[in-house]
Amino acid sequence: MSTPVRGRVRVAQGAKRVRVFLGGQVVADTVHPLLVWEVPYYPTYYFPRADVVSGVLAPSGRTSHSPSRGEGVLSTIKGGGGEAVDAALEYPDSPIEELRDHVRFEFGAFDWFEEDEQIFTHPRDPGVRVDILPSSRHVRIEVDGVTVADTVRPHLLFETGLPTRYYLPRVDVRMDLLTKIDTVTHCPYKGAAEHFDVTGHEDLAWSYPTPLPESERAAGLVAFLDEKVDVYVDGVRQDRPKTKFA
């Protein structure tokens, strides 16, 4: 897979079959998707226009300008009894040649499949790997000087570009100090996470009750936001990571 860079936008040829559905009706189906990093954190799929179902694109007359991609033409998609207003975008005269004659669909407006597996949140980055490894390291979590978790059987989650996360068995967590909240977040690699307040602090912990198959080892375990708690590993206090969650 080649990954040419055009200014701040990276473009790569994908290898998966990717399909987009609206109301159960397919609106695009390709085995030649482009992965486009509009932001540094994850890619977006662009479809060859020839692989978009004929007649589903209805230009709205509105445009969207990008400093790197150029002037975009918006279209509304109708299918399966549903409508996604201005949810398709084309850059017919983009300075990035690869994007011309391609269509970008707004991720949250449709149902997406890579091969025959539904994906959520955003496309998976082929350069990201997630490893979840059992460990015998001693991990202890403190919040305001109070130990809220203490275990010698954590699972360590290593995800490309992110700090190590410590996933702990619930029997080794003071669940009486955690309060489940309504927040649910989604990860394209791990699935849907439930969240918890901890001793009066908002949204400091999370868990994946039914993770995606590749992350099954994390099922039911509890992780804490290391940016805002004190983590001790084998008795050594860890530096708090500096991330966007800090």
- 111/21 Cα distance (integer angstroms): 5
- 38/43 Cα distance (integer angstroms): 7
What pLDDT, in 10s, does the model give residues 138-188? 999 999 999 999 999 999 999 998 999 999 999 999 999 999 999 999 999
84 part of a folded domain: yes
Number of Cβ within a 10 Å radius of residue 133: 10
pTM given for the model: 0.80
The residue among 66, 100, 119 that closes a domain is: 119
- 56/42 Cα distance (integer angstroms): 27
Taking every pair of Cα atoms in the chain, the longest distance, rounded to a whole number of angstroms, is 63
The residue among 100, 119, 138 that closes a domain is: 119
What pLDDT, in 10s, does the model give residues 186-195? 999 999 999 9
- Closest to 29 measured CA to CA, from 21, 41, 38, 18: 18
86 part of a folded domain: yes
Domain identity same for 183 and 107: no
- Domain of 181 in residue numbering reads as 130-237
Indicate which CATH number applies to the domain containing 62.
Answer: 2.170.150.40
What pLDDT, in 10s, does the model give residues 32-87? 999 999 988 899 999 999 999 999 999 999 999 999 999 999 999 988 888 999 99
